[in-house]
Amino acid sequence: MAFSSEHAFPLVAVWGLETSAEPIANGCICLVLWLCLRYVFISQDSSGNWREFLIWCAFTSTLLFSLTVKRENILLPILLPVAVFLVRFRNCRADSFPAHRFRWMLLSTVLGLIFSLQLHLSQTQNSEVVLLHKFPQTPAELITYLPVFVSSFFVVQWYGGAIVLVLIGVIVASRQRSLALFPLLLFVGYLLLYAFHIRTYYELRSGNTDSRAALRFSMSLMGMWSVLAGLGTATALRWFRRTRVWTNHPVPLNWIAGCTVVALGVASFFVTDYFREDLVRDEFRMRIEPSLAAVRAADDNPTKKTYILTLEPLIPQMYASPDVNIISLRTLNEDVMRSVGFDQGKVEVLYLDEQIHRSPADEERYRSQLEYLNQFQRTSLISNSLFSINKINNGSSGTALILPKN
């Protein structure tokens, strides 16, 4: 998993990411929220029903599209009607929005839930269900994830200290009977979802989690994070403008504030860019370069069909030619090797053994696969501290290599 640095600027956050799902999901959340507010509360002119219908279509289609980006966006059709309901009855005004718009919004929710069922989003959780069966979690154990996830937002290196402004925004939004409840409710919903999210086999096996695991998941919160931070900033500025320091020196303080904002934006960009480039280099060295070496080794023998055996099949598959096939170590067994013709000597199998997967947890997780692999002799083609590429021999020739134990 690749991580990135994050500060209080959404554009910089997108730049710091190595994947596209989180920033696109972030944009979808913000757009769905804006269209929802536009449809339910703002667009109440007398220009006719056609414009109202178009806004509803834009809201609903964006809502459905967000479900295809990330399954977690199922929270949107669930939480937005709740927010509308709270704002409507906390304001206690009959003219706050037309009742028929709320019914149409509920229709959007129903369409979103039906669409999620059609996408079989529940089936994508099968791997997590398997993990939970293997490592049953008690409520007390799940709650231990919450403070670790929340505390990660206090890391100044990642978020630039914007948590102070966000906390102010949370307090203000919770006290106001206004539209500020929308970003607050969405932020809390996604925060709890990711705080209790079952992340990896390794966290469940060790019984603890790392605050760095929050970085990628927190990217989906950054739209609401920025809205709340903006609300906190506005509140802090209103308070500051009532102080004697501001009333006596408004012009110099305006210049100081403007220059400070520009300096923070530039510093945030370059710091995030530095972290991103550093992590990209590290990921290339640890994951991509070994796969490229395995692909080159497979291409050295064009006369024979070659399979690359690896724990990360997607990476060599991206770079290999159509003549090179990939076998995931997770699926390795006698039936698989027989089906590809290994027992008859029809194919050549290269095993990519990466240093990042030489851990006791991996040995335990893939014990049966590694025991099956250890019965064959192997010839070392490339070997260094980061990875090794071994040719699996179907016979007695070659040099027997024992998998490293840590």
Are 235 and 321 in the same domain? no
138-151 residue pLDDT tens? 787 778 788 888 88
Instruction: Give the C-alpha distances (Å, rounded to integers) separating 60 from 22, 66, 72, 85, 279.
Output: 20, 10, 17, 18, 37
Give the pLDDT confidence score for residue 396 in this predicted structure: 41
Q: Give a yes or no: residue 113 inside a domain.
A: yes
Is position 193 within any domain?
yes
Q: Which of 242, 273, 300 is the last residue of a domain?
A: 242
User: Residue 242 — pLDDT band, cuts 50, 70, 90?
Assistant: confident
pLDDT over threshold 60, residue 81: yes
Find out whether 245 and 253 touch, Cβ atoms under 8 Å. Answer: yes
Whether 94 has a pLDDT exceeding 50, the answer reads no
Range of the structural domain that residue 388 is part of: 289-393
Q: Tokens at residue 189, please?
A: 């919903």
Q: Give the pLDDT score at 124.
A: 66
Report the pLDDT value the prediction gives residue 266, as an integer from 0 to 100: 86
pLDDT at 400: 39
Instruction: Say which amino acid occupies 30.
Output: C
What percent of the chain is predicted at pLDDT more than 70?
A: 86
Return d(Cα 214, Cα 217) in angstroms, integer: 5
379 shares a domain with 238:
no
Q: Do 192 and 338 sit in the same domain of this protein?
A: no
Its pTM stands at 0.73
pLDDT the model gives residue 47: 52
What's the pLDDT at 399?
Answer: 40
More confident of the two residues 142 and 93: 142
Distance in angstroms (rounded) separating the CA atoms of residues 370 and 392: 13
Total count of domains within the chain: 2
Among 209, 242, 275, the domain-final residue is 242
Domain identity same for 232 and 114? yes
Question: Region 69-80: what's the mean pLDDT?
Answer: 90
- How does pLDDT run across 257-309, given as a tens digit for each residue? 888 888 888 888 888 788 878 878 888 898 899 999 999 988 887 777 889 99
Tell me which of 242, 259, 277 is where a domain ends.
242
Q: How many of the other CB atoms lie within 10 Å of CB of 244?
A: 7
